[in-house]
Structure 1
Amino acid sequence: AQKRLYILNQLEGAELSYNIPGAMLLEGELDRQRFEEAFCGLVARHETLRTGFEMVKGEAVQRIYEEAAFQVEYVQISGEQAEETVRQFVRPFDLAQPPLLRVGLAELAPDRHILMFDTHHIVSDGVSMDVLIEEFVRLYSGEPLEPLRIQYKDYAVWQQSDEQKAQLAKQEAYWLDMFRGELPVLELPTDYPRPAMQSYEGRTLQLFMNREKSEGLKRLAAENGATLYMVL
């Protein structure tokens, strides 16, 4: 998956397509030194955040660094500047230069800040971002974290084992059989025509549901061995 994302990231127009940005409002007293130390602790804790990607003899490889310089970006802004500040915070990553995590803190007032964060999908996803935020809160609160038993590279090695390769080959054969022949273009009933060339333009549509429906979807996913993302 990381090799695929590395190649896709090289495509023209895809520079920001695999960024995972976010922002949240922080209200209350904030210790900037402890704030930055907590994020530095995350970078030291997770090898993925200290991993760079490059081409070696025509092959995409990952390189894990013992250390990766990390610094929170600080800025003081007014409320009117907030939206533009968050927008400009999201910019392309150089995949060869870790950490592939960027954090910013925009001060609106001494007790009011906007936390901005951005990471690349090659080292993170929605689930892992939730984990990082949870661990950040615990580190900032001074709570010690249990050492990690495995790192992502251990999973990658397991995925490349002979046993796992055989399982993947079996799955590949199944899906190639399912999709053999000419495949129709998926034309969803949208209110706009499909562009001839992918533009990578889009927007976010939010919807809200009650707890009962939310729990029902999670049960449906668990009963079918699927993720909530797959169900949706």
Structure 2
Amino acid sequence: MNSKKTPDVSVMEVFIASKSKQQLFYFQAANPNSSAYNMWLELPVAEYGDIGDSAIERAFSTLCRKHSSLRTAFEIKNGQLMEHVYAEIAMEILHSPQQNKNEISEFLAKPFILTTPGLFRALNLKDENGKSSAIVFSAHHIVCDGVSLA
């Protein structure tokens, strides 16, 4: 798997995290290797022709600009869980052959570090000809819910 990232930028907003986000944060902190709260969605894209990496990057950049939760990280300050919303974040877009089930499983099971911005990632699955066949989106439940993926 290989990845490409965009540069980090400064924090835009800081506020106290909600009670539900606090619960998710403390569960993850107690179980740092857990992927129990990873959520994912596979989007088939083969019918749209070859989607280049730059188009995928633009799409995810647009998604990040629109949804501040995707630009969030968390920090405990003075005993309080704070939510930091960044102006921009480093996006993680990985690439893998569609048939490489081990890499896909590793991608889905990789835990998120909630203190680091970018609590979502994308995997561009390529067919045997090197063309995009599907994009898998994975996010921690602290920044995404089931309704958002529906």
Q: TM-score, normalised by structure 2?
A: 0.75
Q: Indicate the residue corresponding to 2:118 in structure 1.
A: 99
Radius of gyration: which is bigger?
Answer: 1
- In the TM superposition, 1:188-207 aligns within 5 A as none
Distance 2:25 2:70 in 1: 15
Q: Are the counterparts in 1 of residues 42 and 137 from structure 2 also a CA contact under 8 Å?
A: yes
Gaps of 5+ in 1: 131-232
Q: Indicate the residue corresponding to 1:3 in structure 2.
A: 22
Deviation at 1:120, TM superposition (A): 0.5
Q: Are the counterparts in 1 of residues 43 and 134 from structure 2 also a CA contact under 8 Å?
A: yes
- In the TM superposition, 1:1-232 aligns within 5 A as 1-12=20-31, 15-27=34-46, 28-75=49-96, 77=97, 79=99, 81=100, 83-90=101-108, 91-108=110-127, 109-130=129-150
Deviation at 1:128, TM superposition (A): 1.1
Q: Are the counterparts in 1 of residues 98 and 133 from structure 2 also a CA contact under 8 Å?
A: no
Question: Is the partner of 2:106 in helix, strand or coil?
Answer: helix
Amino acid at match of 1:101: F
What count of residue pairs does the alignment treat as equivalent?
A: 127
Question: Is the partner of 1:10 in helix, strand or coil?
Answer: helix
- C-alpha deviations, 1:199-227, integer Å up to 9, x for none? xxxxxxxxxxxxxxxxxxxxxxxxxxxxx
Deviation at 1:78, TM superposition (A): 5.8
Distance 1:47 1:23 in 2: 22
Q: Are the counterparts in 2 of residues 107 and 113 from structure 1 also a CA contact under 8 Å?
A: yes
Distance 1:7 1:112 in 2: 37
Deviation at 1:32, TM superposition (A): 2.2
Q: Are the counterparts in 2 of residues 23 and 86 from structure 1 also a CA contact under 8 Å?
A: no
Q: Are the counterparts in 1 of residues 124 and 132 from structure 2 also a CA contact under 8 Å?
A: no
Deviation at 1:22, TM superposition (A): 2.8
C-alpha spacing 1:97/1:55, structure 2 compared with 1 (3 Å) = same
Distance 1:29 1:16 in 2: 31
Q: Are the counterparts in 2 of residues 52 and 96 from structure 1 also a CA contact under 8 Å?
A: yes
Identity of aligned residues (%): 27
Distance 1:20 1:127 in 2: 11
- Point out the structure with the larger strand share: 2
